[in-house]
Amino acid sequence: MTRLSIERLEKRFDKVAAIRGVDLEVEEGELVSLLGPSGCGKTTTLRCVAGFEAPTAGEIRFDGEPVTRLPPEKRDIGMVFQNYALFPHMSVRENLAFGLEMRKVSPNDVATRLADVMSMVQLSGYDERFPRQLSGGQQQRVALARALVVEPRLLLLDEPLANLDAKLRDEMRFFIRSLQRRVGITTLYVTHDQAEAMVMSDRIVVMFDGLIHQVGDARTIYDHPATRQVASFIGSSNFFTGTVTGRDGALIRLDTSFGTVACGSGHEVTTGETATAMVRPETLELSPAGAEGGFSGTVGERHFLGNLTDYRVTMADGSVLQVQGSANAAFAPGEVVSVSLPAGRAWLVGEASA
Amino acid sequence: MTGANRPWLLALPVLAVVGAFLVAPYLNIVLMSFRVPSTTQAYAPGFTLDNYAKSLFDWLYIEALLDTARLAVIVTVSCLILAYPVAFHLARTTSRWRGVLYSIVLSPLLVGVVIRSFGWIILLANNGVVNQALRSYDLPRMQLMYNEFGVILALVHIFLPFMILPLMGAIQGIDPRLEEAARSLGAGRGTVFRRVILPLSLPGIQSGCILVFILACGSYITPALLGAGRVHTTTTMVVQMLDQFLWPFGAALALTLALFGLIAVWVFTRLSGRAMRGMA
Amino acid sequence: MNDRVTSGRLALGCAIALVYIFLLLPIVIVVAASFNAGQGLKFPPDGFSLRWYVAFFTSEPFMDSLRLSLAVAVVATVASGVIGTTAALYYVRHAGRWREVFRIYVLAPLLLPEILTAIALLFFYYQIGLGTRTVVGLYIGHIVVCIPFVFLQVTAALYNLPPSTEEAARSLGAAPGVVFRRITLPLIKPGVINGALFAFIISFDNVSISLLLKGIGTTTLPMQVFDYLRWGFDPTTAAASTVSILMTLGAVVLVDRLVGLRTVRF
């Protein structure tokens, strides 16, 4: 089991900065996802850890020893690629044995380890097939097995589920996660799919534009996003800007153009400062007009989504809030309603810093 | 293989061989073209512009250059006309003979220029197959060879695949649904071809024409064999200069031809580029 | 479908058929002429005979030129195979800022008129004192004009091999040399073989380079045919041509058996 440390990592391609200073610790046996839109630097970070890209600055350590200058084949990693990168001219068995052969494992051990790993990924009996004779899901499992059979220090996965159809993708999420838990291997997982990251990870690293915006578990990132980008990338959110007027215990009073909101915050703010808060549509509650503690608004559009109903409510100042409520409670378009906001569910978002 | 650490080692062989045996020789003939010709040695001392003056202003060579250009244009246009229907059919057909037809288009590429020219000699010679057939029906003999007709016919044959292949590629790239869309809008077959297929295949026409024109300008073997000294192109004249050991002049003449070819292609690209912009 | 359209299509079909006949005609006629019994060419032919093949295979000059042609083609194929493949590897996997310049540089022998290249090489050999006393210059000339064909085929094969396949091998512990031997080379082999096939055919059929660079007293098969044709008609040349066509065809069939020609990109 290996602890991975990434320290002040930077990578520039010609003049374009792909990573602008990334710090990250991945604990032994932990699965950490790098989540972000394409071009955010998550894949480049992974490729630096794998050794396929030489960082412009910074250090990568496995269990404290620097590996930054080691070529990929000396790092003892297992990697799964987005297109699986199975060797098309080798059978499943030869694909799986390749890494063991490179490590000069004795033929007897190879046989037992192959049998073990094939049953682990439920591919027993597929030894002599060639990659092109396998379905996408099977190819994916061979790629996973090929990376795991060498018992690497670190498992690196680069959008491994991106090429699968939706249903299979759901199954594979749980499959990979339970396999990773069983083997107990330290894992770095790159994805642009927020649901995937939330289901699979111990912790999620959200990246934008070469910078880490937030590191945390799924709940923290969803409820308490550090920046506006994190909030809008994961789930839907309403944003509003106002002036900080003081504190109510742990909460901060934000004066907005439609009323005063009590917000939680992860960073220090001073009275008089302008700040932006976000609130998730499903935490807002609608009640008939005039209800206590609510802000007055008018229902604009209403869409039935099956498990819930989606409203657009125009507030007194003209701003529009998205509100999601139960499918039954029906407010008609044009109806004047009261929008209430449970204390602390609004959250002040900050700016990213390098 | 040292791919990872010293990738430039992979580039080294080609850089060395092409550098020493292509770049250097070409620089050498550029230099050579400014030398003073001599019949007793490679060149006489000193430098001169006379070689270029002669190849650009002596009517004999201007005429050869114009003849070469005319020949190349006729060959290019004939290739285009013959190639288009074949390319269109080959691009769109689903017939099980497609593979065979494609092989027929490629087959001339597998047979050397000399052999293909030889085939035309057998057919077109004064006592060749065609004339013998004519005689057996008591028809008058026709001069089919040792003139421009024979050279053009053989050149068209030799370069036809170079026109068909890019055209086919371009036509294959046109979504067949565009034709269906145009027909659904009320266009007849002819209109669809004129307004949709033809404009969209212009890039293929352009690359095919450039390829054939350049190849035709630089052809030597076929004019030498089927023209047999009676059809003068710039290339046959250059080789004559070599035989007469007038190397600097031969070099200037050859470079003039190359330069002329480049200018022609440039003008053509500009003109056809304008046509392609018009279609967008 | 009305009658006018149908007859139009028929006419177009006939025109296409005529073009195919036009493409095949001179090749068929050469082969036919080689089996003709008569001295000259007759229409209709004089009957079937193999005498011109006997003449060809017992002719000292023709056999010499056939041997030289094969030797040159084999050397050119192997040398341009190695040079073109390494160049393609560099271009696809490593070339940086100068990649387009590099590409033009490698393709230059294909882009420049062959006869001009031959002239340039001839002058150059005399300037550096090599001249045409030996056939070394001929070999080099053939290698140079064959390089682009190998380069194009291998480049296409490499583009079809995602870099992640090689990266996967390295992540599993294979050093670059092992990756090349075990992964890259087996996977681009069809491209390399197709490129070699092209090189062989280009060299075997080449005349422009051989015309000017052949050594004194030596000549290649197409050059021998060219010289015979200049001085008149001899059916032995038809037999020589047919043998040459069969050898190219043999190479194509061999490669098709080895890797399948569907992978060739024209």
> Sign of the CA dihedral A179, A183, A184, A185?
negative
Amino acid at A352: A
Neighbours of chain C (3+ CB pairs under 8 A): A, B
The neighbour count for residue C213, using CB atoms within 10 Å, is 24
What's the gap in Å between the CA of C92 and the closest CA on chain A?
16
CATH number for position A337: 2.40.50.140
CA–CA dist B267, B261 (Å, integer):
10
Provide the pLDDT for residue B277: 63
pLDDT, tens digit, for every residue of B186-209? 787 788 888 888 888 888 898 889
CA–CA dist B261, C110 (Å, integer):
15
Provide the pLDDT for residue A99: 93
Chain-chain contact of B157 with C144 (C-beta, under 8 angstroms): no
Q: Is residue C153 part of a domain?
A: yes
Q: Are residues A91 and A162 in the same domain?
A: yes
Q: Check if C15 contacts B (Cβ < 8 Å).
A: yes
Helix and strand numbers, DSSP H then E, in chain A = 8, 20
CA–CA dist C226, B224 (Å, integer):
10
CA closest to B228 among chain C residues: C230
CB-CB neighbors (< 8 A) of B224 in chain C: 230
Share of chain B above pLDDT 90, in %: 18
C26 contacts B157 by C-beta, under 8 angstroms = yes
> Sign of the CA dihedral C161, C163, C168, C171?
positive
Q: Is residue A310 part of a domain?
A: yes
pLDDT in tens, chain A (354 residues): 799 999 999 999 888 899 999 999 999 999 999 999 998 999 999 999 999 999 999 999 999 999 999 999 999 999 999 999 999 989 999 999 999 999 999 999 999 999 999 998 888 889 899 999 999 889 999 999 999 999 999 999 999 998 888 888 888 899 899 999 998 999 999 999 999 999 999 999 999 999 999 999 999 999 999 999 999 999 899 998 999 998 888 889 999 888 888 899 888 888 888 999 999 999 998 888 877 778 889 998 888 888 888 999 999 888 899 999 876 767 888 889 999 888 888 999 987 665
CATH number for position C162: 1.10.3720.10
Q: Is residue A354 part of a domain?
A: no
What's the gap in Å between the CA of C85 and the closest CA on chain A?
20
Q: Are residues A25 and A157 in the same domain?
A: yes
Chain-chain contact of A150 with C172 (C-beta, under 8 angstroms): yes
Q: Is residue C5 part of a domain?
A: no
CA–CA dist A33, A31 (Å, integer):
7
The neighbour count for residue A350, using CB atoms within 10 Å, is 19
Last residue of a domain, one of A198, A230, A262: A230
Q: Is residue C171 part of a domain?
A: yes
Q: Nearest to residue A51, comparing CAs of A27, A74, A32?
A: A74
pLDDT, tens digit, for every residue of B67-80? 899 999 999 999 99
| Residue A21: partners with Cβ closer than 8 Å, 6 or more residues away | A8, A9, A10, A58, A210, A211, A354
DSSP 8-state secondary structure symbol assigned to residue A215? E
Q: Check if A85 contacts C (Cβ < 8 Å).
A: yes
Which domain range does residue C156 map to? 52-263
- Provide the domain count of chain A: 2
Partner residue opposite B129 with nearest CB, options C22, C23, C43: C43
CB-CB neighbors (< 8 A) of C147 in chain B: 14, 17-18
The neighbour count for residue B180, using CB atoms within 10 Å, is 11
Q: Are residues A217 and A240 in the same domain?
A: no
Interface of C with B in 60-119 (CB under 8 A): 82-84, 86-87, 89-90, 93-95, 102, 105-106, 108-109, 112-117, 119
Chain-chain contact of C175 with A83 (C-beta, under 8 angstroms): no
Share of chain C above pLDDT 90, in %: 34
Q: Is residue C245 part of a domain?
A: yes
DSSP string, B170-217: HHHTS-HHHHHHHHHTT--HHHHIIIIIHHHTHHHHHHHHHHHHHHHH
Q: Check if C211 contacts B (Cβ < 8 Å).
A: yes
**What's the length of chain C?**
266
Provide the pLDDT for residue C44: 62
> Sign of the CA dihedral C215, C218, C222, C225?
positive
Q: Is residue A342 part of a domain?
A: yes
Q: Nearest to residue C237, comparing CAs of C4, C25, C30, C87?
A: C30
pLDDT, tens digit, for every residue of B218-257? 888 888 888 877 778 888 888 888 877 788 888 888 888 8
A246-282 as b/e: b if 16+ CB within 10 A? eeeeebbbbebebbebbbbbeeebeeeeebbbbbbbb
Q: E strand or H helix at A323, and its extent? A: strand A320-326
Q: Are residues A83 and A176 in the same domain?
A: yes
**Would the ipTM clear 0.90, i.e. be above it?**
no
C35 contacts C50 by C-beta, under 8 angstroms = yes
Q: Are residues A108 and A158 in the same domain?
A: yes
Q: Are residues A123 and A177 in the same domain?
A: yes
**Structure tokens belonging to residue A134:** 């396998």
CATH number for position A182: 3.40.50.300
Partner residue opposite C29 with nearest CB, options B86, B119, B189: B119
pLDDT, tens digit, for every residue of A226-279? 999 999 999 899 998 999 998 888 889 999 888 888 899 888 888 888 999 999
pLDDT, tens digit, for every residue of A1-43? 799 999 999 999 888 899 999 999 999 999 999 999 998 999 9
Mean pLDDT of chain C: 86
Q: Are residues A223 and A271 in the same domain?
A: no
Q: Check if C167 contacts A (Cβ < 8 Å).
A: yes
Q: Nearest to residue B82, comparing CAs of C266, C18, C5, C8?
A: C18
CA closest to C240 among chain B residues: B115
CA closest to B108 among chain C residues: C23
Quick check: C266 pLDDT over 60? no
Chain-chain contact of C162 with A83 (C-beta, under 8 angstroms): yes
Chain-chain contact of A102 with C178 (C-beta, under 8 angstroms): yes
Q: Is residue A171 part of a domain?
A: yes
User: 3-state DSSP call for residue A256?
Assistant: strand
Partner residue opposite C24 with nearest CB, options B107, B122, B218: B107
Provide the pLDDT for residue A164: 86
Quick check: B275 pLDDT over 60? yes
Mean pLDDT of chain B: 85
Which domain range does residue A309 map to? 236-349
Quickly state the pLDDT bin for B3 (edges 50, 70, 90).
Answer: very low
pLDDT, tens digit, for every residue of C212-233? 888 777 888 988 888 888 777 7
Q: Is residue C218 part of a domain?
A: yes
Q: Check if A99 contacts C (Cβ < 8 Å).
A: yes
- Provide the domain count of chain C: 1
What's the gap in Å between the CA of C159 and the closest CA on chain B?
17
| C-beta pairs of B271-275 under 8 Å, 24+ apart in sequence | B272/B202, B272/B205, B272/B206, B272/B209, B275/B202
Partner residue opposite B104 with nearest CB, options C20, C90, C244: C20
Q: Are residues A101 and A167 in the same domain?
A: yes
Domains of chain B: 70-230 (1.10.3720.10)
Q: Are residues A34 and A179 in the same domain?
A: yes
What's the gap in Å between the CA of C264 and the closest CA on chain B?
12
Q: Check if A77 contacts C (Cβ < 8 Å).
A: yes
Q: Are residues A86 and A143 in the same domain?
A: yes
Q: Are residues A312 and A219 in the same domain?
A: no
B2 half-sphere exposure, CB direction, 13 A CA radius = 8
Chain-chain contact of C187 with A50 (C-beta, under 8 angstroms): no
The pTM of the full predicted model, rounded to 2 decimals, is 0.81
What's the gap in Å between the CA of A210 and the closest CA on chain C?
22
Last residue of a domain, one of A203, A230, A257: A230
Provide the pLDDT for residue B231: 79
pLDDT, tens digit, for every residue of C164-199? 999 999 999 999 889 999 999 999 988 899 889 889
Last residue of a domain, one of A210, A230, A250: A230
Q: Is residue C31 part of a domain?
A: no
Q: Is residue A190 part of a domain?
A: yes
> What is the interface size between B and C, counted as CB pairs within 8 Å?
243
Q: Is residue C17 part of a domain?
A: no
Q: Is residue C160 part of a domain?
A: yes
